[in-house]
Structure formats: structure tokens, C-alpha cells
Structure 1
């Protein structure tokens, strides 16, 4: 067996939204402004083309441009240590391998791989394992398994499947957007964190994940409030559990409200309103979201906290 690749460091990661103009073209200045605010907020890494990054709506060239823009913006502003992970999910093994190679060429250090989902009945456990192993064999950068049943036609990898894949020398972690803390804990208690990083994919189980041995979080809400997430991580590390529980409650309510607004367009609308860059345009068939009708009291409370930190 080859030497095991290193997993990404523990911390707070953001699947960054990708700002666009009214013609649905990439809005590079707003993308740069967002990357910079996240990095200044203290995030450990940025996930380009996570589900919040509209990966499936981009051409291969746009995907490379988004990764390269992220890496260059970080490097040029003194954030060389901030990790770039690229979502590289494709519907065929061949395309996924190409996206992993493209990601490396554009400056990403890790690839986050969704399970293909065009033909759910064909995605048996052996087929899923074969797919992820073949991609990891070919990928020039370490890969991570992205488990998100909402965007993979309900395909939900269990802890046995993920643990089997974790033995591969080039598979170094997972993002569990299923939000299943039991699954997370089964993985963290049976796999060394120095070899395999297990992240919840939602802020509403951030603290629960940390207590269960997770590597941190990769979630949508840090697009709005990166500093508040770093604060929770620090409270946990300092053993200030009572304060951490209070902050986790706020994150949980805010995450729920964000989801109800309509994740990607909602994040863009909130960021545009409160941090004064970017427009709430998304690529069709997604639709822009209106904020005025939504209940946002906890989100507003979180934004006040974020601006005070």
C-alpha cells in the first residue's frame, strides 16, 4: 500500500457561493471580495464548487477559473495557508477524473467527490466503492467523499461504505451533509483523525460534531458568519462548553432560517444586503430569493454578533 496522503487540517471550511451578474456571468470582483472576507474571518479553508458554488451549472473552464481566482486572491492577500478544496463531482468516472486533474492545475489541494446520481438503481454499494476508488487512484490530489443525499437523488452512503473507502491511501476525508451525528461518531471513533478527516456538512451540528471527534465543519452558514464559527471552535477548544452550547443554539436557528430562505440565492441576498458586495443573481433553473417575507430574527442576531467580533 502506498503512503497515506494527509487529510486537510481541522477547522472551519466554507463552501463559498459564486457571485454572478445579471447575465449569469461570473462576477470576479465580488467573488474576490467574498473570498477575502472569509479569509479575514479566520476560516481554515474554502471549498470551491461545493453545492453552494453551483458547480453543476458551470462549464469546465468556469470551474477552473473559479478555483484559480480563489487561490490567487488568497495568495495575493497573505492567506497562502488557507486551504482550497474543489468540488469535482461528475456523472461519469472519466469526467470526475478530469475535474480532479483540472482542480489540481487550477491550484486546489483537495478534491471533494460527489457520488454520481443520474442512475440511482445502478449505484449499488460495490459500484459506489469502485467509483470512488478509481477516482482516487487517478486523482493527482487527495480526494474526500461528499455525502449529500439531497443532491444525489437520495443516495446516502453509510458508515461501513465510507470506512471501507477510508482505507484507500488517497482518500483522506468526508463531508457528511446528511447531518447524521451517529454516522460521524462511528467514523471518528474507528478512523484516526491524522489519516481521515470527518466533517459535518451543516452548522446545526457543528458543536455536536466537535464533541464526537469531528475535524470541524464544512457548512453554508460560514458564508454569512465565518468569525462566529471560529469563535465556537475556540470556545470548544478552551473547554468553555456552556458558552459554546449557547452559540451553537444561535447557529442552529440561523442555519434553519437560511435553509428556509433558499440556500444559495438566500446566502447571496443576505451577503449582498449586510456586507455590501455581490448581487443575488443565480443561474437558472435556480431563482433569486426575496428576503422581505422571510423570518430572519436569528440570522439578524448572528450577523450583529459577526460584525462585533
Structure 2
């Protein structure tokens, strides 16, 4: 059976909640998964950059995937996909994490480029890494381009297009936010074979106009319904309303980033949605919302609660 990309829609790299001992807070994790599913997301990315994957053991990573899949299935959300982040610093470990992801219930995996030795990550080595992982993975793979967490390594559209030709590589998340790169890919690789997603809500509408498959972004952790609303407005041709909502998403995404993405999301969710705490695994630190200008973020939350 040929590998197929995930369907278009809103995907969220979910934060993972911990208790004061930095162990899984499963009650909060389950509450978060359910709120996202009830908000209409197409899929949940477990161990994206917001999921603190690099701070987890292999067993913890596998358990987080399984817990997400089991929570969705037990509550009538069998159609919500689970994508697993499986990037590691060696090809061998990445292959193992892909197998674990399949066993835990993921349908696709998202793979970061290794970055411990940036000068050694030539275009040829990057292509070989992703192709070898895709060859071995029991489920379809996607390319995760996020220069901020890969020591500045930024895959260009030519490299990604080359990888898109692999039969088991079915998409990409562009957290670089480069719309030109996104449009070069959407206009040269069939959407039925390769899904191109921006990785930031502040270019969500721009991505849709350029042929993206939706969005995989941090902000839907806070406001999944608002993101679904933007897709609805776009599909209905209400571009002026969609642009107004996009402006709010862009301001809110910027403010959330200034608070501090992972810890900030947890702080916002705990305050406004009543579950979870702000604990993160070291060396990250918890943040407090006091002192930050989050007026646009709070405006978005008010909209979310009204939908």
C-alpha cells in the first residue's frame, strides 16, 4: 500500500505536562489531548519541539504516544491522527524511534535533521540521513525543518523537493516560516503525495493561499477552534474576515513566543483552561505571565471560548 500524507487541517505539537517532580502529569495530559480533540484538530503531534522530546527517555516517548492514542480512542476521537516526533542525533536511534512510534499508535513520524555537528551536515549527508530513515520506517515520514533547534541548519526547497521523491517521505513542517519556500514546494510537488505545512500560526493564512495543507503550530495548544475558524473563512472565500483573524493569530503567536513557547503555553493553559501546571524539565525553567504584554493573546482566548 503506498504511503500517503496526513490529511490537510490543523495539527498541534502538544505540550507535555509534568508534576513538581518532573514526572508525567497524566491527568493534565489527558485533559489537554481531549480539549484539543474537542476543538476540532485534525491531528496531534506528540514530541514536536513543544513536547520536550529531547528531555525524555525512549520509554517515556513511547508511553506519551500511546497515552495520546489511547485517550483519543477511548473518547470517540479515533479519526484524530497521532504524529510522533522521532528525530535523534544518529540515524540508528532515529530508526528505532520510528519503530517505537508505530508500535505506540502513530500513523506518521516527523523527523528533525541531526545537528550536533553542523559543519558535517552537508546536503548529501542530510539527504542520506532522511532517505535511510524513510527506508527503515514502518510508517510514513515527514521532514521537520526548524533552524532554531538544529543549530541553524535550514533545509532549502531543492533539498526538500529531492527528499519528497522518496516513496515513504510524505510531507514537511516548515518552522522556518518561509512562505517562498513553501510555495515553491506546493507548486512543484503534488499535494496528493506530499503535504507542506507552515510551522507557525503567524503565516497560517499566507500558507493556505500558497497551497499549504494547513498548519502544524504551537498556538493551537491555546486556541484550536480559532484556527479551524480561519480555515472555514478561507474556504468560504471570506478573505477580509480571514485576514482579520490572521492578524490576531499573528499578534498572539508573537506574544506567546515572547513569554516563552513551552513554559508559556503551559502557563496560559493552566490559567485560562483550568488544568496542568507550569513545570518543565530542566534545563528549561517555568515562567510567570505577570509582566508580559499578552493583550492580543487574551483577546484570542476570549474568541476561542466563544466559538
**TM-score, with structure 2 as normaliser:** 1.00
For 1:101, the equivalent position in structure 2 comes to 99
Gaps of 5+ in 2: none
For 2:145, the equivalent position in structure 1 comes to 147
For 1:265, the equivalent position in structure 2 comes to 263
Deviations 1:31-54 (A, max 9, x none): 000000000000000000000000
- Number of residue equivalences: 307
Q: Distance in 1 between matches of 2:98 and 2:91?
A: 11
Shift of 1:4: 4.1
Work out which of the residue numbers 191, 212, 215 in structure 1 matches 2:213: 215
Q: Distance in 1 between matches of 2:232 and 2:35?
A: 19
Calculate the aligned-residue CA RMSD, in Å.
Answer: 0.5
Work out which of the residue numbers 233, 240, 251 in structure 2 matches 1:253: 251
For 2:203, the equivalent position in structure 1 comes to 205
Aligned 1:5-154 pairs, distance under 5 A: 5-154=3-152
Aligned 1:118-197 pairs, distance under 5 A: 118-197=116-195
Q: Distance in 1 between matches of 2:6 and 2:235?
A: 18
For 2:232, the equivalent position in structure 1 comes to 234
Q: Distance in 1 between matches of 2:287 and 2:174?
A: 26
3-state SS, counterpart of residue 146 of structure 1: strand
Deviations 1:230-269 (A, max 9, x none): 0001100111100000000000000000000000000000
Shift of 1:70: 0.3
Q: Distance in 2 between matches of 1:127 and 1:71?
A: 33
**TM-score, with structure 1 as normaliser:** 0.99
For 2:290, the equivalent position in structure 1 comes to 292
Runs of 4+ in 1 over 6 A off after TM superposition: none
3-state SS, counterpart of residue 85 of structure 1: strand
3-state SS, counterpart of residue 80 of structure 1: coil
Q: Distance in 2 between matches of 1:4 and 1:198?
A: 18
Q: Distance in 2 between matches of 1:246 and 1:234?
A: 13
